[in-house]
Chain A
Amino acid sequence: MDRSKVFLGAGRYLLIGLASVIALVPVVWMATMAFKPREEWTSGIDQLSWLPKNPTFDNFTFIFTGHAPKLVVAIDRVAIGPAISSIVCATLGTIIAVTVGTLAAYAVSRFKVGRNLPLSILQLRLFPPLAVMIPVMIMWAYLGLIDTWWGLSLIYGIVTLPFSFWLMMTFFDDVPREIEEAALVEGCTPWVVFRRVTLPMVKAPLATTILFVFILNWSDYAIALLLTRKDWITIPVFMNALSTAMTGQMYGAKAALGLIAAIPPVVLGILIQKYLVRGLTFGALKQ
């Protein structure tokens, strides 16, 4: 009995250990690549090394300034613009989605208005973005929104609205009504109740929703690829454009960019781990 328990325990650790290694290998390979000097980017399969032999910050210097000691390659722009674009558009998109979503979620949860709203909002999430982008691209061009921060923020706000709306709706459903009712009886208007009573009670869920939506916006690639051209491309778009021209594969530089793009969601994701299931299933499952 005891023996088999030890065996089971060891087997569990072995399997989980293996899974963890598989989960981390691609991340580690990119992270170490970001610190490898150019000579180590590619090498024969026998000399392949997992850790940089001569670790360097050249890749980071290169992507942000356009030149580094050993990287004499011309690039037409540096990563500062795309980094600002990623931060600005993901943040503003999050503000739009969470504001609009929270208001609508409260209304649907409390006042039973807009019966079809939840499903029609959810539908936004169902279709491949590329299948419905033609009219959006035409509209964006017509309204002068292509390659602007406000145009990209607006579409981000719309695309992540289903998540903020459904998440906040389940959070509002969890809040007991008694306190609100008491405040109403005291003579507060419904808006004051929402603003001063309910919102303070959902502070933590609201923060979770904000982080969750930010991760989604930050992770976008396809939309920025279609709706930006030059000035407001985001980090993932910039990163994948880096290899085209005559520069060849800029493994290390791209890895450095990838690392920068990958860190915020991973960190934020750990922060909101408790609510990930709820968020990813649109509130259908409450963990």
Chain B
Amino acid sequence: MNAVITDASSQALPMPSPTNNLAAQGRRLGALMILPAQLLLLFIVVFPLLMQIYISLTYWGPTDGVSWIYAYQSLNLFANYVTFFTDANLWAAIARTLFIIVVAVPLEFLLGLGLATLFVDSFPGRRVFYSILLTPMMVVPAVAGYMFYMLFQSNGPVNQILSFFSNSKVELVWLSVPHLALTAVIAADVWEWTPLVFLILLAGILAVPEDQLRAATMLGASWPQRFRRIVLPRMKTVIVIVLVLRCVEAFKLFDVMFVMTRGGPGTSTETISLYIYKQTFNELEWSYVAAIGLTLLIILSVLAVIGMRFMKHEIEIERSMAPETIEGKTT
């Protein structure tokens, strides 16, 4: 322990400054360095959030002719929130979004896991195929939406391929029949995001310690046994991460839908984001949209907190089991 030296006197010293002064310098620099990020957060979170709460308590809309500051003139307290809970179209959109998640995410997971197991050990051409399989997720989502829009035209390639295999002329009007449109939209999502699941799960599998697998092999465990007893338990965290990531992203689903179907035919592919878009730009119900947004914000935040707790717990268990597996090896 050094004797206590004040800041002023230490700055007067030409050479090595005592560590406590360095720490103070560090803290000061640290505070300066996070300042821009904090200002941006203040700008984009705190202020808009207050504004959103305020507007959601009124009937204010952009065509009212008054600035949002005077929204209190049409104060209605919780009327928008009451509407939220009684709006059948909104709940249908939420249910549709959840349906798409429930169908698409498990599909992506199974396909991604299957592909990942094929890539565990090396084979000629592995790198090339790996790059090819990652291509879909690099494509701009709006462009992917347009690709699938073209593919699913009634005189498009999908029908052509189906005709080829069924030996009869298939002319399904994919995007104009509700359940077919939903299928097409889910197909687009699965196409685009299976690579992401594949990529992350493969990293997880490769991080499983090799010596354990080798030991199990020597003890005569078959690949399915090794997979179930060693690989899967080790991959719990990775699986949770990938599922959470996909569910969050799928809940936001907008670009592909908007380009492919605009939520149509009717409302058969209208997700929550599309419903909000229509309320914003077709109905101009901005205060209602603010209320929907806030309610979703609260629900998602609660889910996120629960999810984080769970993930932290899992990661701690994992760490206590095998500290060396946290950082995986490179492919």
Contacts and interface: CB of A to CB of B under 8 A. Distances in A.
A182 interface: no
Interface stretch (A60-68, A70-78, A119-127, A201-209): A119-127
Interface string A259-278: 00110011011100110110
B89 interface: no
A270 B131 contact: yes
Contacts of A194: 29
A125 B144 CA distance: 21
A276 B163 contact: no
Contact of A221 (B141, B147, B301): B141
A51 interface: no
Contacts of B146: 30, 239-240, 254-255, 258
Interface residues of A, number: 97
A191 B29 contact: yes
Contacts of A133: 280, 293
Interface string A139-159: 100000000000000000110
Interface stretch (B41-49, B174-182, B214-222): B41-49
Interface in B143-196: 143-144, 146-148, 150-151, 153-157, 159-160, 163, 169, 171, 191, 195-196
B203 A222 contact: no
Contact of A130 (B40, B157, B276, B328): B276
A109 B136 CA distance: 34
A18 B272 CA distance: 34
Contacts of A265: 138-140
A45 B163 contact: yes
B277 to A, nearest CB: 6
17 contacts: A26-B147, A27-B147, A30-B143, A100-B36, A110-B30, A129-B273, A131-B292, A138-B55, A189-B29, A190-B25, A221-B259, A258-B146, A258-B147, A265-B139, A266-B135, A273-B134, A280-B245
Interface of A: 9, 12-13, 15-16, 19-20, 22-27, 29-30, 33, 42-46, 48, 50, 99-101, 103-104, 106-108, 110-114, 117, 119-121, 123-136, 138-139, 157-158, 161, 165, 184-185, 187, 189-191, 194, 215, 218-219, 221-222, 225, 236, 239-240, 251, 254-255, 258, 261-262, 265-266, 268-270, 273-274, 276-277, 280-281, 284-287
Given A30-B143, A50-B157, A285-B203, 13 more contacts: A33-B150, A43-B155, A48-B155, A123-B304, A130-B254, A138-B55, A187-B16, A190-B22, A222-B255, A258-B140, A276-B134, A280-B200, A287-B206
Interface of B: 15-17, 22, 25-27, 29-34, 36-38, 40-41, 43-45, 47-49, 51-52, 55, 68, 111, 114-115, 118-119, 123, 129-144, 146-148, 150-151, 153-157, 159-160, 163, 169, 171, 191, 195-196, 199-200, 203-204, 206, 238, 241-242, 245, 248, 251-252, 254-255, 258-259, 272-273, 276-277, 280, 286, 289-290, 292-293, 296-297, 300-301, 304, 308, 327-328, 330-331
